[in-house]
Amino acid sequence: MEKEFYKNPNLDINILYMDSKRITSKDYFDNLRDLYSVQLKNRTNDLIITVDRFAYDFVLNNYNTIFKNIPVLTVGIENFSKENALKKMA
């Protein structure tokens, strides 16, 4: 995905790596939430793309504080629940 996105000079891409397959503690995710809040505070994003279950859950759990009103495209997850997503993003 990155390789294709970088081919387009009109796209401003911000990729955030969570490293959540190695670190899964609540403290870690709380720190990521705080860090991403600062990093994204003054940015305008057109789309959030999550590429695994950890990123998807993180965006849903923090949607109303960090990612509000930004469309989310998710890939690479199983057992998607539209009802759960709508409930968390409401």
DSSP annotation string for 15-73: -----TTT---HHHHHHHHHHHHHHHTT---S-EEE-SHHHHHHHHHHIIIIITT--EE
- Work out the pLDDT band at 26, boundaries 50, 70, 90: very high
Whole-number Å distance between alpha carbons of 82 and 89: 11
The pTM of this model reads: 0.85
Residue-level pLDDT at 66: 93
Residue 59 has pLDDT above 90, yes or no: yes
Burial of 72 (0-12, 13-18, 19+ CB in 10 A): middle
Q: Tally the domains of the chain.
A: 1
- Work out the pLDDT band at 24, boundaries 50, 70, 90: confident
Spatial contact of 50 and 59, defined as CB atoms under 8 Å apart: yes
In one letter, which amino acid is 88? K
Give residue 60's domain range: 2-89
Residue 90 has pLDDT above 80, yes or no: no
Q: Of residues 18 and 21, which shows the higher confidence score?
A: 18
